[in-house]
Structure 1
Amino acid sequence: MTAGLILDTLTIHLGNRPLVSLSARIAPGAVLTVMGPSGIGKSTILAAITGTLAPGFRCRGRIVLNGRDLAGLPPQDRHVGILFQDHLLFPHLSVGGNLSFGLPPGTPDRKAAIAQALAEIGMDGFAGRDPATLSGGQKARVALMRMLLSEPQALLLDEPFSGLDADLRGQMRDMVFERARARNLPVVLVTHDAEDARAAGGEVMSLG
């Protein structure tokens, strides 16, 4: 089995028009940063990996995660986590409820797992809080931990730091990349910000 994420001659078409083409191998714990202006196709690459391409797009080539070809698999069976600029917490669930949503079925002590997850991100005692009462940085931390609790085998980052102020942006970069490395996750970051690329380290690929 080849560990990591392999994009083997991945080509995405919109109708008959080639939109983006790339090949890359992202080792466990490494980051590939894809840069380029808005509309160039960065987020479309992530949609191809997660299996959520919109109608009208076609994908060719192979996407292989830890030796498993993802072609034809529904999104929930790909074991790929993704973070967006918008944190997308469920407004009808508490912070603990949002984290519980990420836990795998059959987790023996969900309450303890949630408490441990909150402690890891410096938010002890927040389980009962309404997400609407959280700061932007707190929402980002909860979204990150909810995704990590689902035990993904790869992490995709769709400009998740761009909505944060400068201090929080640096803190969240450190938190995301440290936890990805600790879990040995291959990471694909799409951004137009050179500071994000520098913080990520690793290979940088420019589109357009």
Structure 2
Amino acid sequence: MSLGLGLKDVRITLEGRELLALDCMIAPGEVLTVMGPSGSGKSTLLSFVAGFLTAPFTAEGRIELNGADITDAAPELRHVGLLFQDPMLFPHLNVGGNLLFGMPPGGRARATAAGEALARFGLDGFMDRDPATLSGGQASRVALLRLLLSEPKAALLDEPFSKLDRHLRGDIRRFTFERLRDAGLPSILVTHDPEDAEAAGGPVVELAI
């Protein structure tokens, strides 16, 4: 079995015009960075991998995750975690509720695990906090932790650092990539920022319109 995320002869088109063509294997803990201007197909690639691609875009090729073909699988069965520009925490749930939402069933042990994970992320005692009271860096860490606790087999990152203050960006960037490596998740990062690509440390694909 081949571990990692495989993009096998993937080709994405818009009304007959090819936006991108990729054939690569992303190893566990590796981050593939996809760069390019708006409209080049970066986020469309993430939609295809996550299972959300819609018309007028079309895609060919296969997506394999740890040896399984997930090309036609429903999004909720792909075991792919998503991290966006905004943390997208549920405003009606506290921090603990946000973390528990995506976690596999496990009774009271889930809350214990969530609390311990918050402490490891430097957020000890944050279980009952309202997301609206979090700083940008704190919210980003909670969003990343929510992704990791959902036990995905791969991660997709859509410009997750672009809205952070510059003084926070470097720390959160390093923190994120370290945790993805520790978890052994093959990941795809979409970004405009060369510093993101450098920090990710993996292969880089540059797209053009």
Tell me the TM-score normalised to structure 2 length. 0.96
What residue is the counterpart of 2:59 in the other structure?
59
Aligned partner letter, 2:100: S
CA distance in 2 between partners of 1:107 and 1:36 (Å): 44
1:68 aligns with 2:68: yes
Distance apart, 1:108 and its partner CA: 5.1
CA distance in 1 between partners of 2:97 and 2:36 (Å): 36
Residues 8-157 of structure 1 mapped to structure 2, 5 A cutoff: 8-106=8-106, 109-157=109-157
What residue is the counterpart of 1:179 in the other structure?
179
CA distance in 1 between partners of 2:107 and 2:84 (Å): 26
Count of paired positions? 208
CA distance in 2 between partners of 1:120 and 1:13 (Å): 43
What residue is the counterpart of 2:195 in the other structure?
195
Secondary structure of the structure 2 residue equivalent to 1:58: strand
Deviations 1:10-31 (A, max 9, x none): 0112233322211111111111
Distance apart, 1:54 and its partner CA: 2.3
Secondary structure of the structure 2 residue equivalent to 1:109: helix
1:169 aligns with 2:180: no
Contact preservation (8 Å) 2:32, 2:202:
yes
What's the C-alpha RMSD, in Å, of the aligned pairs?
A: 1.1
Deviations 1:91-146 (A, max 9, x none): 00000000011211235512201111211211111111110111111110000000
Aligned partner letter, 1:51: G
CA distance in 2 between partners of 1:107 and 1:15 (Å): 48
Distance apart, 1:32 and its partner CA: 0.8
Which consecutive segments of 4 or more residues in structure 1 shift more than 6 A? none
CA distance in 2 between partners of 1:19 and 1:28 (Å): 26
Contact preservation (8 Å) 2:94, 2:127:
yes
Distance apart, 1:58 and its partner CA: 1.5
- The range that moved more, 51-60 or 143-152, is 51-60
CA distance in 2 between partners of 1:40 and 1:107 (Å): 44
Aligned partner letter, 2:92: H
CA distance in 2 between partners of 1:62 and 1:80 (Å): 15
Contact preservation (8 Å) 2:103, 2:110:
yes
- Fraction of identical pairs, as percent: 60
* Unaligned 5+ runs, structure 1: none
Secondary structure of the structure 2 residue equivalent to 1:25: strand
- The range that moved more, 43-52 or 108-117, is 108-117
CA distance in 2 between partners of 1:190 and 1:107 (Å): 36
Contact preservation (8 Å) 2:49, 2:71:
no
Aligned partner letter, 1:151: E
Tell me the TM-score normalised to structure 1 length. 0.96
1:107–1:152: structure 2 CA closer, same or farther, 3 Å change rule? farther
CA distance in 1 between partners of 2:75 and 2:169 (Å): 28
